[in-house]
Amino acid sequence: MDAAQSTKNLAQTFAKQIASEPWEILKQAEGQVFPGEETPAEPEKPAESIENKKLLAARDSTRSRRLLQALETELKEIARIRKEKEVKEVPDAKAPKPLPEIVSKPGRKFLRIFGGGKKAQMRRQQTQTERPLPPSG
């Protein structure tokens, strides 16, 4: 019974392994179907790739710095424009409002000089009656 138990355990472990790694079977099957060809797992990376990584990192950092500087200058420009707008708006708010012109009747002196009221003066003279003088004596 011990042999049957161990065979059962082996079958279960193989089933679990196949379920967890389904593509491994296909990789092994390729070697069995085409035995003459060998496919390299990963191409070897030359030493230049390390230099390329350093170069790319340097380029990235310079690009990041330039973008950061551009954004900072843009923020400064926006702040400057806002201040200019505030400065322009403040004098407008503090400026005294013009008073409305006072319209009044013209004075008597003005009427005498410029001959205003001639029509009214003519009417008064027409309706005016002479007063009798008291007897002197």
The 10s digit of each residue's pLDDT in 100-134 is: 787 777 666 766 666 666 777 777 788 777 777 88
The answer to whether the predicted template modeling score (pTM) of the entire model surpasses 0.85 is no
Q: Specify the DSSP class assigned to residue 115.
A: T
CA-CA distance, 3 to 56, in Å (whole number)? 60
Q: Specify the DSSP class assigned to residue 42.
A: S
pLDDT at 135: 83
CB count within 10 Å of CB 61 equals: 10
Q: Which position has the higher pLDDT, 65 or 2? A: 65
pLDDT at 100: 79
Task: Assess whether pLDDT exceeds 80 at residue 97.
Answer: no
Residue 53 burial (C-beta neighbours within 10 Å; 0-12, 13-18, 19+): exposed
Give yes or no for a contact between 106 and 116, defined as CB atoms under 8 angstroms apart.
yes
Q: Is 109 helix (H, G, I), strand (E, B) or coil?
A: helix
